[in-house]
């Protein structure tokens, strides 16, 4: 039998299976990976030499690894509540374009641009969900959806510092400096988990969870940065049944 046929039979069997019983529960620990790439941009203005300068920055954070732990309890046949905590890390880079006012002349900005790597983003989240599950002798499928509380900490580019010399028509930008900034936001999540019981109390499982929220970071006194937290994280790990 083909893999597609086997998968369809498994899905039909799970849909026809008995709802998980009231009073049952499970706990899990999984390694996860979020392939979603997070990109954002910011525009700042600042005052220098009695004029207004500008800074435009583009950020890009790659997908990265993480983990999740959680516990679930069935309040009635099939229905229950789930509480989970997840975390993830990403590496990133930034590119910028700046216009610095001239110290001697009005409306004669000095332009500069550059890029830097080695930025990091750390994301933690608490998920509180309503769940519905069905199970057979070995397999169990659980769908869930609910609210998520995100906390994001990311490296943000500070205003570039520079040196200049008479007649001050050009600037030499020094190595960019980054600032660590954090923010929190309530969002949402939904997903699906499939478990296979190795015994009455232990098993293995895979899971996909999509979550999202837009978190605002106070970059500097000159502006803020908005980052999209979450994405689609897939994971696999151990299951404990009680």
Fold of 3-241: Porin (2.40.160)
pLDDT for position 32:
98
Could you count the other beta carbons within 10 Å of the beta carbon of residue 175? 8
Q: What are phi and psi of 169, to 5 degrees?
A: -80, -15
pLDDT digits (tens, 9 = 90+) for 14-67: 445 567 667 889 999 999 999 989 999 999 999 999 999 999 999 999 999 999
3-state DSSP helix/strand/coil percent for the chain, to nearest 5?
5, 70, 25
pLDDT for position 132:
95
pLDDT for position 135:
84
The radius of gyration of the chain's CA atoms, rounded to the nearest angstrom, is 25
**Start-to-end CA span in the chain (Å):** 35
DSSP 41: E
Closest CA to 120 of 156, 150, 86: 156
Closest CA to 117 of 54, 41, 55, 59: 59
| Residues of the chain where predicted confidence (pLDDT) is lower than 70 | 1-18, 20-21, 220-222
Query: Where in the chain are the domains?
Result: 3-241
| CA dihedral over 62, 229, 120, 29, signed as positive or negative | negative
Structure tokens belonging to residue 50: 């009695």
pLDDT for position 20:
64
Closest CA to 16 of 196, 195, 141: 141
pLDDT for position 18:
66
| CA dihedral over 160, 161, 165, 166, signed as positive or negative | positive
104 burial level (CB within 10 Å; 0-12, 13-18, 19+): exposed
The answer to whether the beta carbons of residues 212 and 230 sit under 8 Å apart is yes
pLDDT for position 24:
87
pLDDT for position 17:
56
pLDDT for position 2:
52
């Amino acid at each position: 039998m083909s893999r597609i046929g086997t998968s369809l039979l498994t899905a039909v069997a799970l849909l026809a299976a008995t709802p998980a019983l009231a009073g049952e529960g499970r706990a899990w620990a999984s390694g996860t990976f979020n392939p979603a790439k997070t990109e954002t941009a910011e525009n700042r203005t600042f005052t220098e030499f009695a004029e207004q300068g500008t800074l435009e920055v583009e950020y890009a954070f790659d997908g990265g690894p993480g983990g999740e732990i959680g516990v679930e309890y069935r309040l009635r046949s099939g229905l229950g509540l789930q509480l989970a905590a997840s975390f993830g890390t990403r590496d990133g880079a930034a590119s910028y374009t700046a216009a610095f006012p001239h110290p001697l002349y009005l409306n004669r900005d000095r332009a500069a641009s550059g890029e830097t790597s080695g930025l990091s983003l750390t994301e933690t989240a608490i998920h509180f969900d309503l769940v519905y599950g069905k199970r057979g002798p070995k397999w169990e499928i659980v769908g869930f959806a609910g609210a998520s509380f995100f906390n994001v900490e990311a490296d943000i580019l500070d205003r570039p510092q520079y040196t200049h010399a008479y007649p001050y028509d050009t600037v030499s930008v020094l190595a960019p400096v980054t600032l660590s900034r954090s923010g929190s936001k309530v969002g949402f999540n939904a997903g699906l988990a499939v478990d296979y019981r190795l015994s009455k109390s232990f098993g293995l499982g895979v899971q996909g969870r999509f979550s999202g929220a837009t978190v605002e970071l106070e970059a500097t006194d000159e502006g803020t940065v908005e980052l999209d937290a979450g994405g689609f994280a897939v994971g696999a790990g151990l299951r404990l049944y009680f």
